[in-house]
Structure formats: structure tokens, C-alpha cells
Chain A
């Protein structure tokens, strides 16, 4: 009996030897994976470095004036101050969020709980379709359809409310910060709907049913159970949407009226950080090229921090879920 077992034991030790040999000889695989990962890391490093390097002359020339100053002559030699551009970027993003956040969260709730089950997948696909449309098409749409609508209907109406005073003063020409904000709101809507739908869908059914069994109405369950439970994740969705709005380029460039000035009202034309890079890069002369790279640097710092913040929020939401 012992004798017959012997060969198999030998055999398995042979296998073990080969296994341990293969384990040590699997270095190429690890090497390839690490190689790809570190290559991408290096590319990102070079990317950051390239923007920093291109912006360096403008940073040296203008210093903090770049953020706080308001003088910007395209094609000139400076000094360059991007305060108006930063302000326009923040204003358009804020308008976009004011419109897209309530509509987006409501749509997510509707998609999950209110729309008849048959149409839920269709509704979700429609929202995905909204995300697949490229930004240049939204720009074109804003240019052809929203510009006349804004100048004929929306702007006169808003101006009527405040009597053409701030923040609805100035010429009603369609192209404006307001229009850019509206177009942006459409563009960030899919992001907000999709992500808040994801985080709301993991709210435990027990909680929802608990609320209903206590006699709460559906709206009470929405506002007192579902939204508070998924608060962090929804914040993450909003911040991600904000990040997208801050960096959106072409659609904004097509509807904002590309004009660098301090915003006087929501009807002012203007230019965001991203849209100004797009519209002026082609014929940048003198020190403008470096100044535009400095805009890119400011934009990179802002969007990277916003995205990092969104990541923290969504990770926290995942951890508590």
C-alpha cells in the first residue's frame, strides 16, 4: 500500500516543483502590467509638465495678476489677467447647476420609482443617448434653436421681471453667459441623472418600506428617507457635473459670444477659461500663447481638485452603502 502511494507522491512533488518554478517565472506578466500602468502615469506627468512649461513665461510675467487682474488683450503682449474669464467660468457653471441639479435629481427619482417599469430601461437609454451627443452638436443646437428663443422670449421676460436692471440688464442678443449656462445644464444633465440614479438605487428597500409602513406618503419617503440616505452620493454626482461644466469647451465657445470683459449681467457676452483657449489658440501671437497655457493650467488645477473631491464623495458613498 505504501509502495503504491510513493509514485504519486513523487509525481505531485514534481508538479509542485513545476508550479513553484512557474510562479517565479511569471515576472514578464507582472512587468507588462506594471509597465503599462507606469507608462500611463508617466504620460500624465509629462502632460502636467507640458502645460506647466508652456505657462511658465506667463506665470513669470504676470504672477498673481494672472488670477486677480482684469486686463486681457488678445494677441497682445500683456499683462494678462484672467479674472473675468474665471468669473465667467464660475457663473456659467453655477447657472448650469441651478438648472440641472433639481431637474436631474427629480429625473433620477422618477426613473427609479415613478415611470412605469416597462419604460424604465427606455428612459435610462434616452438619458444615455443625451450623453452620447457630442458637445459640438449641442453648440450647434444652442446656436440655431436657443439663441432666437432666448432673445425673443426668455430675455425680454427676465428683463421684464427686474425692469432691465441687474442681473438681467443689457442687450438681449441671445449669445450670453445665460445661454452658455443653459446649454451647459443640458450637457451635464446625463451625468447628474446617471450617477444619482446609481446611488439612489442602492438605498436599502427595508428603509423605504419602513417609511411606507409607518404611514408616510410617497413624497415623505422621497424627502425624508431616500434623499438623506443617498446625500453623499448625490453630492458626488453634482460635483462631477460641476467638473464637466467647468471644462466644457466647444459648446460654450459657440454660444457665449467670445468676448473678454468683466461680466456686467447674465446677458453679457464673455468667455470661459476653456472656451477662450479654444477660440484664441489658433491665432495666438506675442505672449498670448503662454497666457493661454496659463489659462489651461488654472483650468487643470480647478478641474483636477473638483474631480478629486467628487471621487472622495462617491467613494465615501460607496463605503457607507
Chain B
């Protein structure tokens, strides 16, 4: 019996396996070396990716804090001239203008965006597919095009640059972002919850109000806050339509001042004092944006915890 086994011709697979093992053993040194080099290259790239972030943050803090003071944050701007080159005043009205434009745009965009998100999450028709595609494409449309739109449909008919035009441009910009975020969180609501509602005989509107919306709320609120943060930093559409204002202005039908616009205008100023102040404006803007983004994170984290 044992003789018979040893007399069998060797299975070719053993040979092949031996070959492979030999080759693997022979090349392991080289392959490890390549792997190490490759991995350090990946880590190097990751570190390179973080350099601009570090540089931007350093610049914002270093140059921005130097420009910021209480008067700078609360006073009205003043136009420096050759005699008084350092008389740049403050950015109080620009902070106010930014908040007004952003909040009103949000006020318009949030209900439409959330309802659109709910529609996209629930409807399955071809029309819904089409609208979903439109929504996704609109999230990537350059913001300056919405400036052109607001110019044609608000500034030209009213013959006036105004905060309203900025609100329209930013509102249209925010809707698809909110809708996309809401759609994703609405889809994340377990179908068992909705079916439980259906089994109790609740109508769709009741299910939406009492089940879908509350369960999806953290995601929706995060989406809303992030879209507010994104809209706040938008410069291109604002540049075309809101005009400029050096006064306190609560009326969105009039030209209005805004932080991103001021940053842009100051950066190209002929006065070194204004060019330096651009960093102060930028720091104020980024701080407001970061407050919104951080709130978004905290809100969603806390609401998720409460759910459990």
C-alpha cells in the first residue's frame, strides 16, 4: 500500500507550488523594499496635502488677528485717502450684511430643500429620477452662473443692486445641497419604522411628520447648517449682484455689504492698510463659517446620542 503511494507520479501542482514559493521567497526582499517606498510615498503625499491647510490657518491667525480689534468688528468702514492711509474703519455692516443675506437665503431654501429631499426619497417615478439628476447636477454648477441669473432676474428688473438678488442667488445654490443631504438622511430611516406607522393606519403626511422627519432630523439639520456655511463664503454670485454699501443696512432691497465681497475688494486695494485688513475680514468670515460647521457636528452628534 505504502509502496503504491510512493510510486505514484508526483502531482504537477506540487511542482508549480514549489516554483511559486521559490519565486516569492526570492523576490520578497525587493517587494518589501518597493512596498516600504510606496507606503512612505503615500504618507508623504498625505503630509503634502496638509501643508496648504496649515499655511492657510497660520496666515489667517497670524495676519488676521493683527488686523482685528473691537472697533474693526463693530465700526463702519471708511475710505482711506492719501492723507489718512490707515483710516480703514471697520466691518460691522459687512458682518450684519452677511448674516442677513445668509439667514434670509436659508429661510427660503430650507423648506424647499427639505421638501424636495422628501420628494426625492419617496417618489419613484421617472419624473423623480429626472429631478434627482437635476438636483445633483445643480450641486456642482459654478456659483457665478447663479450670479448671472440673479442679475438678469432681480437686478435688471428692479434697476438696483440689492441684498435680495444675493438672497436669490444663494438660495438657489443652497436648495440642492439641502435636498441631497435630506434625501440621504430620509432614506436612512429604517423602513420598519415607516411600516409600523402604516400598520397603525397613519397617513403619509402623519408618517412624514411623526416618524421620518424626527428620525432623520440630525442629518437634515447638519445638511442645512453646512449649506449655510457654504453659502456664507460664496463670493462670486455676491460680487455680481449685491452692490456695495458703507452704511448699516437692514433693508435687503438696497445694496448691502458682505464679508466675502469685502475680502475680495480689499485684497486688490492700492492701500497697504486695506490689503492687510483683508486678512482680518477673512478671519472674521472663516470664524463664522467654522462656528456653523462645528454647530452642525455637535448638533448631529448630540441628537444621535439622544436617540439611543
Which residues of A line the B interface, CB within 8 A?
Answer: 15, 18-19, 22-23, 25-26, 28-30, 32-37, 39-41, 43-44, 46-47, 50-51, 53-54, 102-104, 106-107, 109-111, 114-115, 123, 126-130, 132-141, 143-145, 186, 189, 193, 215, 217-220, 222-223, 240, 243-244, 246-250, 254, 274, 277-278, 281-282, 292-293, 296, 299-300, 303-304, 306-308, 310-311
Contact = CB atoms under 8 A, between A and B. Distances in A.
A35 B131 CA distance: 12
Interface stretch (B6-14, B71-79, B278-286): B278-286
Contacts of B39: 114, 218-219
B107 to A, nearest CB: 15
Interface of B: 24, 31-32, 34-35, 37-39, 41-46, 48-50, 52-53, 55-56, 59-60, 63, 111-112, 115-116, 118-120, 122-123, 128, 131, 133-149, 151-153, 172, 175-176, 179, 201, 203-205, 208, 229-230, 232-236, 239-240, 260, 263-264, 267-268, 278-279, 282, 285-286, 289-290, 293
Contact of A140 (B49, B140, B278): B278
Contacts of B43: 110, 114-115
Nearest to A216: B31
Nearest to B231: A134
B239 A278 contact: yes
A25 B202 CA distance: 12
Contacts of A26: 203-205
A121 to B, nearest CB: 11
Nearest to A141: B56
A175 to B, nearest CB: 12
Nearest to B130: A41
Given A26-B205, A40-B179, A300 B141 contact: yes
B236 A250 contact: yes
Contacts of B60: 137
6 contacts: A132-B290, A136-B235, A139-B267, A219-B37, A250-B236, A308-B137
Q: Interface of chain A, helix or strand or loop or mixed?
A: helix
B46 A247 contact: no
Contact of B264 (A39, A136, A144): A136
B142 A248 contact: yes
Contacts of B133: 308, 311
A115 B205 contact: no
B55 A47 contact: no
B155 to A, nearest CB: 11
B172 A43 contact: yes
B46 A137 contact: no
Contacts of A292: 148
A34 B120 CA distance: 10
A189 B50 CA distance: 10
A22 to B, nearest CB: 5
Nearest to A20: B201
Contacts of B268: 254
B286 A133 contact: yes
Given A130-B53, A135-B233, A136-B285, 12 more contacts: A26-B204, A33-B115, A33-B118, A37-B115, A40-B176, A103-B48, A114-B42, A136-B282, A139-B267, A140-B267, A140-B282, A219-B38
Contact of B260 (A18, A53, A136): A136
B235 A41 contact: no
Contacts of A247: 140-145
A136 B52 contact: no
Given A34-B119, A137-B56, A219-B34, A106 B24 contact: no
A233 to B, nearest CB: 15
A18 B200 CA distance: 12
Contacts of A29: 203-205, 208
B38 A222 contact: yes
A217 B112 contact: no
Given A37-B131, A106-B45, A136-B282, A186 B52 contact: yes
A11 to B, nearest CB: 13
Given A36-B115, A217-B31, A249 B144 contact: yes
A303 B147 CA distance: 16
A107 B45 CA distance: 6
A120 to B, nearest CB: 11
Residue among A115, A219, A220 facing the most chain B CB atoms (10 A cut-off):
A219
A310 B140 CA distance: 10
Contacts of B229: 132
A56 to B, nearest CB: 11
Contact of B148 (A15, A140, A186, A296): A296
Given A29-B208, A126-B53, A277 B148 contact: yes
Given A36-B111, A51-B145, A249-B142, A137 B263 contact: yes
Contacts of A215: 24
Contact of B119 (A33, A44, A47, A278): A33
B135 A54 contact: no
B263 A110 contact: no
A123 B46 contact: yes
B134 A41 contact: yes
Closest 5 CB pairs of A and B: A134-B233, A247-B142, A106-B45, A36-B115, A29-B205
